Amino acid sequence: MRRRRIWVRRISRGIATIAIGALLGFLVPTIISDLSDKPEVEAIVAESPVARQFITAFITDDQGTLQRMGAPAEITARAAKLKAEYVRVDPPVHLGSYNAGGISLHTYAAPVLAIDGTENLLSWRVISRGGRATLVLPPSPIEP
């Protein structure tokens, strides 16, 4: 009887040791991964065809398309000014998008060649909403 109790105690201690080891082997890595820093995941938003059509019309100074898309007069004037100031404007590259409900903000950049021969990189932000798009104008400089 005494011998049986000793073996039962040894087996139960072995099972308890294995159970605690398995529990710690699961918990420790789980806690470490939960507490460690993780890179933030940003949602990938596809480029809007409306925004692409708008920026292409803006770059090429397609006044008809801009007016059909409901662009204000200031934007169409800026498109004409862009066409007049630069000899070459490469096709714009979509840099990224951000979606906030029904509104999406798209960013574009394109290398340009000015009339005097200097090269530059221009960027634009386009907001599209409900099948319409418009250019986000930068804030005007503060005058002294």
pLDDT per position as a tens digit, 26-72: 888 888 888 887 766 555 668 888 999 999 999 999 999 989 888 88
Fold held by 49-135? Nuclear Transport Factor 2; Chain: A, (3.10.450)
Are 56 and 69 in contact by the 8 Å Cβ rule? The answer is no
Whole-angstrom distance, CA of residue 124 vs CA of residue 52: 12
Tokens for 28? Answer: 């420790």
From the CA atom positions of the chain, what is the Rg in Å? 31
- The per-residue pLDDT for 4 is 82
Segment 85-113, tens digit of pLDDT? 999 999 999 998 888 777 889 999 999 99
| pLDDT reported for residue 43 | 57
Stated pTM of the model: 0.65
63, two tokens: 């006044």
The pLDDT of residue 141: 55
